[in-house]
Amino acid sequence: MKRLTRFAQGFGIGRLVCLFLLAALVALRIGNPAPLESMRVRTFDFYQSIQPRQATLKPAVIVDIDEASLKAYGQWPWPRTLLSDLVAKLTRLGSAVIGFDVIFAEPDRMSPAIAAESFRNLDADTRASLMKLPSNDDVLGDAMKRARVVLGESGHHLPVPLAGPRPPTTGFAMLGPDPRNFLIGFPGIIHNVPPLEQAAAGRGMLTIQPEPDGIVRRVPMVMNAQGTLMPALSLEMLRVATGAGGIRVKTDAAGLVSVAIPGLELPTDRNGQLWVYFAPSDDSRYVSAKDVLEDKVTADRVGRRLVLLGTSAVGLRDIKATPINPAMSGVEVHAQVLENVLSKSMLVYPNYAIGAELAAAVLFGLIIIAIGPVLGASMMLALGALVTAGLAAGSWYFFTQQRILIDATFPLLATFLIYLTLIFINYFREQLQRRRIRSAFGQYLSPSLVDKLAHSHETLTLGGEDRNMTILFSDVRGFTTISEIYKDDPQGLTTLMNNFLTPMTNAIVEKNGTIDKYIGDAIMAFWNAPLHDAEHEINACSAALEMLVRVETINIKREKEAAEAGQRFIPLKIGVGLNSGRCVVGNMGSDLRFNYSVLGDCVNLASRLEGQTKSYDVQILIGSKTAQAVGNKFALLEVDYITVKGKTEPETIYTVLGGADVAQSENFLRMQGLFNEMLKLYRSQDFAAAGEAIVRCRAAGEGFGLSRLFDIYSLRIGGFEKQAPPSDWNGVFALETK
């Protein structure tokens, strides 16, 4: 026991704990729970979103049953005689293979014999004549016999009895263990009607199973459907196009390795699925079925191409979410599979990938365990950055250069957790030292200052850092007039300001803001310091709107109190200026006294914007960077294009009229559209039309409190109609006051 204790002390408790943690993480990766799998595939999604495939080769064309086709030839399903015409025309144009991304599971109800049974009061001769005509399915089957057609079939969760003779099946050659133990399986399979099954050159599964999060990343190339090995629609089209007699399936002890036809080998995952490297959706992949039927498509468009017949029409479209497109047609997924295979750009997640990931996790984990405790904080951080960069760069290299998917997230997670564990153990030890500091200085200094000293004395030195921040200035309008009411009661004025500043401060702090200072009745605040706030622009705008709400609450209470006391009531009104940009934030002042504050050009502009709320008679004005960041999350209205006093660069300013509910309201959208139209006319110097537009704005803007803004533009327009602006005028209005 003593030897074990001495060993633990020498080796380090932290190292022992981290070794056990590393072993547990290795076992976790082998077990591969769903959250770990989700993290891994989302990393691969991220790679594709950064660098999607460039579709330089487009061997597949989608003949699209689109809205125009349905309008021209009627609702779906179409008579199969019309589809036979479509097959015949594509065949004459030289299409290599025609694949149907639709299933014909039931006889065509428009076939003559079936239609005759449904007609009432039909004379016997006509009925007999109709009964002798070939069915629409036979007509389509005859057209398919003169072409190379692959029919789509679908997996089903229940066994499906055959309605006729067993359709022909594709032959498979097995190399390795039986693949059925690894393939995605379906108890049943939905076939097409027998005349079509017997006439087709091939049959393939069009079933695409999204992953648990609803995203299609992999498409099964071979499936086990109702006890029969079935190829995917895309793979069967390639087999028919090459004239191959069968498909070779290669397996090892871990599962499938690849599927192949002569000249093409497709690497798959252990379940026979192909990792698709997606390109953005492209309309050039589509040809309208209407255009084919009306002979508007030339041979160079579909000739010698793999043609997929599918639909993008509303109500018929099979929508699939992919890593780069949340709404891609299922038929386009099949087209992209064909592009992947023929351009040899498909992704590969090999069976040995788990071994590579485990080896990386163990290697870097052991490095952290071995040298981490003896390194300083900065060196430890540098090591962590180096490990992260190396793993990420390696994974990215294999993706971009080799099209091989190697997961960097698990090794990163493992090393990060080990790193955190070491940090936590070191932190626990340092807590003892910090307690000694608090005990020594707690009787002499404030608790907050003691806490800073215990963590790092560097926080009490002068200096600042560069950050992107949002600054707020607010001021009470007409405060001098309000102060006159309390000239004989200064204590009452103090109480009023405390009652006013408290809810204003709470509104800011509740939205993650930091109060910089109070300047009489004015407030200066900022966001994104000292704590990081990724949504600092949104939070600042929300705080400004909340301040207006709380001012109204204060006024209701004050009005009631003034009425009870028989005093004059003047409501409090505030103006708020917001602006975002780069600032320097930190401890500003002298060696003797300093405050945590912010400096920068955008601070000055925020102050100027607050001052201009009086000029435009709006409650909130914000700068262009703030407006751009918040987007349509608030009801923003462009107010003007100005240069403030003391600056030469113009700035587009906006007012905030409400939150998302107002932004989506019909009244606001109408008024916003009219006002934007007026600004366009005004800046293009069409002042007569702008004057008419401002009249429409007044009518639409009732209830938004913008009458003063409309008056300003009316006066400007009237002045410019009398005296035109200079030839180089670009719509900028120079403010003469702060």
Instruction: Please say whether the beta carbons of 188 and 246 come within 8 A.
Output: no
d(CA 715, CA 263): 77
Is residue 483 a contact partner of residue 570, using CB atoms and an 8 Å limit? Answer: no
Task: Based on the fold, state whether residues 165 and 77 are members of the same structural domain.
Answer: yes
pLDDT at 569 over 90: no
* CB proximity list for 707: less than 8 A, separation 6 or greater: 617, 698, 701
Q: What would the two tokens of residue 185 be?
A: 């399986």
Q: Reduced to 3 states, what is the DSSP secondary structure of residue 223?
A: strand
Mean pLDDT in residue range 649-672: 94
Q: For residue 702, report the phi and psi dihedrals to the nearest 5 degrees.
A: -60, 135
26 in a structural domain: yes
Q: What separation, in Å, do the N-terminal and C-terminal C-alpha atoms of the chain show? A: 78
Query: 392 and 280: one domain?
Result: no
Q: Over 50: is that where the pLDDT of 4 sits?
A: no
Rounded Cα distance between 516 and 362, Å, is: 48
pLDDT exceeds cutoff 80 at 448: no
Strand ranges, E, within 481-615: 514-519, 522-527, 574-589, 594-599
CATH number, domain of 526, equals: 3.30.70.1230
Residue 476 sits in the same domain as residue 589: yes
Q: Is residue 450 part of a domain?
A: no
Residue in the structure block whose two tokens are 């751009």 = 628
pLDDT of residue 463: 58
Whether residues 179 and 328 share a domain: the answer is: yes
Judgement on whether residues 583 and 700 belong to the same structural domain of the protein? no
Structural domain tally of the chain? 4
Q: Is residue 459 part of a domain?
A: no
**Whether residue 281 is found in the same domain as residue 239:** yes
Q: Could you count the other beta carbons within 10 Å of the beta carbon of residue 210?
A: 13
| Listed ranges 1-10, 437-446, 503-512; the one with the highest mean pLDDT | 503-512
Same-domain pairing of 173 and 314? yes
Beta carbons of 257 and 351 less than 8 angstroms apart: yes
Residue 381 has pLDDT above 60, yes or no: yes
Model pLDDT, residue 520: 84
338 with 357, same domain? no
Q: Is residue 736 scored above 70 in pLDDT?
A: no
State which amino acid sits at residue 682: Y
pLDDT at 455: 57
Residue at a domain's end among 342, 372, 387: 342
Give alpha helix (H) positions in 398-465. 409-441, 447-455
pLDDT band at 591 (very low <50, low <70, confident <90, very high): low
130 falls within a domain:
no
Residue 424 forms part of a structural domain: no
- Which pLDDT value is given to residue 670? 95
Identity at 224, one-letter amino acid code: N
Three-class DSSP category at 531: coil
Cα separations in angstroms, 174 against 218, 256, 265, 272, 333: 22, 10, 14, 13, 27
Tokens of 724: 């035109």
Chain segment 138-174, per-residue pLDDT in tens: 999 999 999 999 999 999 888 888 777 778 889 999 9
- Which of 592, 619, 646 is the last residue before a domain boundary? 619
Q: Are residues 386 and 526 in the same domain?
A: no
Decide if pLDDT at 396 tops 80: yes
**What is each CA distance from 344 to 217, 337, 404, 513, in whole angstroms?**
17, 10, 12, 53
List pLDDT tens digits, range 17-46.
888 888 888 888 888 888 888 888 898 999
- At residue 277, the pLDDT reads 95
Domain of 180?
A: 60-109+136-342
Residue 173 and residue 253 share a domain: yes
Domain boundary among 318, 342, 366: 342
User: Is the domain of 140 the same as that of 274?
Assistant: yes
Residues near 106 by beta carbon (within 8 Å), at least 6 away in sequence: 193
- Band of pLDDT at residue 444, cut at 50, 70 and 90: very low
**548-565 pLDDT, tens digit each:** 999 999 999 989 988 888
Residue 426 included in any domain: no
Distance (Å, whole) CA 206 – CA 233:
5
Quote the CA–CA distance of 62 and 302 in Å, as a whole number: 9
Decide if 458 is inside a domain: no
Closest C-alpha among 470, 335, 323, 505 to residue 405: 323
Rounded CA-CA distance 203/213 in Å is 29
Residue 308 placed within a domain? yes
Residue 28, class by beta-carbon neighbours within 10 Å (0-12 exposed, 13-18 middle, 19+ buried)?
middle
Tokens (6 digits) for 242:
């090459």
pLDDT at position 122 over 80: no
Distance between CA atoms of residues 264 and 243, nearest Å: 12
* Residues 150 and 255 reside in one and the same domain: yes
